[in-house]
Amino acid sequence: MLGSYKYAPVRVAVFKIIQRPKAEQPGRKDLVFVEGDYYDGHTLTLRLHPLLKGEYIVFYQYEWTKLHPCRKSIINLYAPFETQLTKIDES
């Protein structure tokens, strides 16, 4: 970027999806906060302790400005075993 590039600040939050018992409110799901961070540099890393099997949501948001003309990002998720990623929504 000819020496004028600045990295966009990013927010990341991880939530676990909890299914409520059918006796309480059938079909209702709650989100439980697991981990999150904010960083305005090159790389943001969240090292999560072993997660229990289940469904999780990863939210991320970039704060693009005129200094970020490319507006591209790379999200990497690493796990010690094969993990199925579903329902990816880039919006």
> How confident is the model over 24-58, as pLDDT tens digits?
677 788 899 999 988 887 778 888 888 888 888 88
Domain residues for the domain of 7 are: 1-91
Could you write out the three-class secondary structure of the chain?
A: CCCCCCCCCEEEEEEEEEECCCCCCCCCEEEEEEEEEEECCCCCCCCCCCCCCCEEEEEEEECCCCCCCCCCCCCCCCCCCCCCCCCCCCC
The closest alpha carbon to 57, from 7, 22, 87, 14, belongs to 14
Q: With a threshold of 0.85, does the pTM exceed it?
A: no
As for how many domains the chain has, the answer is 1
> How confident is the model over 52-75, as pLDDT tens digits?
888 888 888 888 877 777 777 778
